[in-house]
């Protein structure tokens, strides 16, 4: 297998931080006046350290990262150990077949570009077409798809802070990817209680080896993430790094009293995700909320997503259709609670975020809509196809306003396995899809 170069190995296992975070053995924290000192990794280059510092500074400037333990973890953990190889795309966005290069830390000529990629804050592709990750040869790839990656750092940092990881907690990381979340959990909680689970055995094998190179020995296992990992349950924290259409019952059952789970809930559209925040009270009852968010994780295995092809995008931005002038303003992009409700009430819509105007298509039936400003408080609305998408948007917006313009909805996980979202005043509600096999 392709080992992490010896120069990158850690000098010793990294303990849970003992500076501002202390643990009484139950996962509770206590403040300490001692300054936090990040562990040092042998062979961690100055360029890598500078890249991490710059990435953290950008996250702080954008407001996605605050002072605290997650910040210290991101500053300390060398991403080039977790991702000594990563893909960069060499082809244009719509070029087919796509072309990729696999960069490798062991090749000096790749290091500068690899470090730039790892610390850009963007998602990082680490696996092509389900290939073995360990022992592969760097170089070009053609066609296929990326099947494992590290998520964008802004979203990851924000979610890790919301997860509120503390020393001594038991953590289930569902969807291992590059192992970034598992590494942060080991750093903050100690690795003894961390389980990282992925459906792909090659991803699990690579993460196990690379986390070990950091001095961590979490339980790294392969299996269906929606089934969790009952062998070491319950968990104080559950983090799911792929989108699911409904909350997996097994993950709620494996959550300990006082625990929290986070996961992206989505429909077939990738445009308007929701974040499920699930808390289990000390008495075992569950309180859950669905928050409308700008960004969410990608769909998990077996969860098909709609997309707008290049030809369809061109059609809905340039073609003629039936145009009407409207005095109704299109909802603001920041009205995320409305867009989340639209996605649930009128499924099958995908937004073209790269268009200058509000542009939405329905790939399954070929309907589309675009809205362009036509002067003061006037908009030209062009539609085409069997669906009147503009009417659907206005209906969802009216129902959202009647519900008090919520940015979050109560998530009901009923005992009969039904799941539904409801606005705080109860005026707006929708059912989440049933689990496969349910009537």
The H-or-E segment that residue 409 falls in is strand 408-413
Distance CA 431, CA 277 (A): 17
Whether the CB-CB separation of 168 and 193 falls below 8 Å is answered with yes
Whether the CB-CB separation of 260 and 247 falls below 8 Å is answered with no
Give me the catalytic one of 46, 106, 123, 151: 151
Q: Is 383 strand, coil or helix?
A: strand
Distance CA 135, CA 127 (A): 12
Prior bond of 97 cis (ω within 30°): yes
Distance CA 123, CA 118 (A): 8
C-alpha R_g of the chain: 23
Whether the CB-CB separation of 137 and 207 falls below 8 Å is answered with no
Whether the CB-CB separation of 110 and 138 falls below 8 Å is answered with yes
Q: Is 253 strand, coil or helix?
A: helix
Residue showing tokens 């072309």: 99
Instruction: Judge whether 151 counts as a catalytic residue.
Output: yes
The 8-class DSSP code of residue 244 comes to B
Residues forming beta bridges with residue 139, ordered by sequence position: 102
- The catalytic residue positions are 151
């Amino acid at each position: 297998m392709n080992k992490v170069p010896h120069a990158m190995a850690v000098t010793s296992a990294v303990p849970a931080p003992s500076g501002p975070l202390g643990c009484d053995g139950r996962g509770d924290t206590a403040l300490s006046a001692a300054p936090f000192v990040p562990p040092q990794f042998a062979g961690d280059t100055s360029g890598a350290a500078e890249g991490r510092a710059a990435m953290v500074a950008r996250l702080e400037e954008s407001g996605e990262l605050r002072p605290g333990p997650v910040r210290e973890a991101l500053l300390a953990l060398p991403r080039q150990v977790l991702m000594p190889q990563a893909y960069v795309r060499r082809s244009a966005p719509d070029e087919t077949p796509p072309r990729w290069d696999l960069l490798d830390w062991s090749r000096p000529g790749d290091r500068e570009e690899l470090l730039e990629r790892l610390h850009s804050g963007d998602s990082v592709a680490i696996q092509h077409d389900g290939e073995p990750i360990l022992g592969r040869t760097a170089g070009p790839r053609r066609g296929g798809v990326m099947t494992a990656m590290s998520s964008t750092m802004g979203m990851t940092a924000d979610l890790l802070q919301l997860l509120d990881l503390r020393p001594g907690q038991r953590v289930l990381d569902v969807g291992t990817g590059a192992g970034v979340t598992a590494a942060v959990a080991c750093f903050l909680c100690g690795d003894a209680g961390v389980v990282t689970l992925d459906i792909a055995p090659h991803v699990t094998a690579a993460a196990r080896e690379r986390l070990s190179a950091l001095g961590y020995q979490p339980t790294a296992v392969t299996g269906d993430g929606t089934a969790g990992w009952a062998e070491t349950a319950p968990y104080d924290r559950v983090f799911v790094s792929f989108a699911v259409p409904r909350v997996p019952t097994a993950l709620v059952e494996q959550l300990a009293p006082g625990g929290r789970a986070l996961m992206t809930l989505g429909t077939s559209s990738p445009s308007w995700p929701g974040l499920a925040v699930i808390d289990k009270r000390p008495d075992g009852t569950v309180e859950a909320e669905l928050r409308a968010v700008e960004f969410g994780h990608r769909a998990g295995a077996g969860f098909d997503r709609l997309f707008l092809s290049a030809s369809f995008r061109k059609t809905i931005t340039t073609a003629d259709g039936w145009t009407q002038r409207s005095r109704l303003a299109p909802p603001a992009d920041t009205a995320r609670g409305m867009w989340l409700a639209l996605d649930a009430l009128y499924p099958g819509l995908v937004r073209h975020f790269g268009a200058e105007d509000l542009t939405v298509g329905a790939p399954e039936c070929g309907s589309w809509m675009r809205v362009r400003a036509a002067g003061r408080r006037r908009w030209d609305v062009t539609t085409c196809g069997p669906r009147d998408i503009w009417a659907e948007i206005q209906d969802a917006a009216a129902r959202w306003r009647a519900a008090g313009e919520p940015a979050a909805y109560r998530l009901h996980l009923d005992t009969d396995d039904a799941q539904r979202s409801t606005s705080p005043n109860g005026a707006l509600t929708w059912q989440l899809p049933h689990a496969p096999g349910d009537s």
